[in-house]
Amino acid sequence: MKNIYGFTLPRLENYFLKKGDKKFKATQVFEWIYKQRIHSFDEMKNVSKNTIEDLKENFALTPLTLLQKQIDTDVCKFLFGLADGNKIEAVLMKHDYGNSLCVSSQVGCNMGCTFCESGRLKKVRNLEIHEMVTQILQVEQEMNIKISHLVLMGIGEPFDNYENVMDFISILNEPKGIDLGARHITVSTCGIVPKILKFMKSGKQVNLAISLHASNNEIRDKIMKINKAYKIEEVIDAVKQYIKETNRRVTFEYILLKGVNDKEEHAIELAKILKGINCYVNLIPYNETSHIEYKKSSKNTIMKFFDTLKKNHINVTIRKEFGSKVSAACGQLRANYEEG
């Protein structure tokens, strides 16, 4: 039985058309599940008994299992169980501009970034579309809030689950459903070049963030395995093409790791690479985890790095630190739950 939350509107329309039924039934279903947030098909008041019976026979309307919730003032972390027993995380961050949810796209991750907790569990499988959609629905229900921004920065590499992630975004965007605008959604990738180019051609107005984290290949090779496949120059080249084609500004994420990539020379090198590109750099204070030996750069070092980029005409921001109290770095909650 398929989970209905995995269906884009056109796919659900097709389902009804194939049965010789009316297309608009798909819209009705969408409105019931995403606007009214029903938990059973029986609650659909304006839909015929036959259709309800048919839906009950063919579709599941099942949520994820909430295993754990950790609440802090401006951040809340959720650990969800999937039907097959795997676990994933979502993190809610309360900003002054709204509620942003960070969702997972895979169980585990194969990208092998040495500083990242998520990758300690190798990829078990991709998340199904419905497993991404229901992360939002459940957080909204649990917290009684509306999510205004969504980032694909949880466990997993979204571009390693490309097709499902694109369908997930279509479901989010659907005006008759969740209706979250593309510009409020950000996909973050470690830099899988062919997928950046594919994404460029998809026409989606979603924000793109690139986890760069290093100013030269020597350092990036050491901390991000993906750099063996796609060098910094290739990533930058793909980003330039992306910007030319889409006219959209790109974000480069840069985690500051003490003594590894946080020196002034690195900031100067980074500014050189990014010169003339319509982008901004988001400096990320490293969220230390007990399993990995990297340390976070000092406040002073972070500020110096920031200033050097500024002086070299690079748009730069420092990411607000969330949830060090609630182990908010990707993969930490799952790791602690399994081991604690």
Min dist. Cβ of residue 295 to ligand SAH (A): 11
Contacting range for ligand SAH; rule: CB under 6 A; set: 1-9, 37-45, 107-115, 197-205: 107-115
**AA letter at 79:** L
Binding mask 168-207 for ligand SAH (x = CB under 6 A): --------------------xxx-----------------
Question: Is 284 one of the binding residues for ligand SAH (CB under 6 A)?
Answer: yes
Question: Is 75 one of the binding residues for ligand SAH (CB under 6 A)?
Answer: no
Question: Is 167 one of the binding residues for ligand SAH (CB under 6 A)?
Answer: no
Pick one of 286, 305, 306, 322: the residue that binds ligand SAH (CB under 6 A).
286
Question: Is 165 one of the binding residues for ligand SAH (CB under 6 A)?
Answer: no
Min dist. Cβ of residue 36 to ligand SAH (A): 32
Question: Is 135 one of the binding residues for ligand SAH (CB under 6 A)?
Answer: no
| Count of CB atoms situated within 10 Å of the CB of 269 | 16
Contacting range for ligand SAH; rule: CB under 6 A; set: 34-42, 113-121, 199-207, 262-270: 113-121
Catalytic residue among 89, 117, 128, 131: 89
Pick one of 4, 12, 103, 153: the residue that binds ligand SAH (CB under 6 A).
153
Total binding residues for ligand SAH by CB under 6 A?
19
For ligand SAH, which is the closer residue by CB, 25 or 184?
Answer: 184
Integer Cα distance of 140 and 93 in angstroms: 12
Contacting range for ligand SAH; rule: CB under 6 A; set: 28-36, 60-68, 108-116, 300-308: 108-116
Active site residue 76: no
For ligand SAH, which is the closer residue by CB, 3 or 227?
Answer: 227
3-state secondary structure the chain: CEEHHHCCHHHHHHHHHHCCCCCHHHHHHHHHHHHCCCCCHHHCCCCCHHHHHHHHHHEECCCCEEEEEEECCCEEEEEEECCCCCEEEEEEEEECCEEEEECCCEECCCCCCCCCCHHHCCCCEECCHHHHHHHHHHHHHHHCCCCCEEEECCCCCHHHHHHHHHHHHHHHHCCCCCCCCHHHEEEEECCCHHHHHHHHHHCCCCEEEEECCCCCHHHHHHHCHHHHCCCHHHHHHHHHHHHHHHCCCEEEEEEEECCCCCCHHHHHHHHHHHCCCCEEEEEEECCCCCCCCCCECCHHHHHHHHHHHHHCCCEEEECCCCCCCCCCCCCHHHHHHHHC
The answer to whether residues 250 and 235 touch, using CB atoms and an 8 Å cutoff, is no
Binding mask 234-263 for ligand SAH (x = CB under 6 A): -------------------x-x--------
Integer Cα distance of 334 and 340 in angstroms: 10
Question: Is 227 one of the binding residues for ligand SAH (CB under 6 A)?
Answer: no
Pick one of 9, 116, 133, 180: the residue that binds ligand SAH (CB under 6 A).
116
For ligand SAH, which is the closer residue by CB, 13 or 157?
Answer: 157
Q: Just list the catalytic residues.
A: 89, 330
Question: Which residue ranges make up the site for ligand SAH (CB under 6 A)?
Answer: 111, 113, 115-117, 153, 157, 188-190, 211, 253, 255, 284, 286-287, 289, 329-330
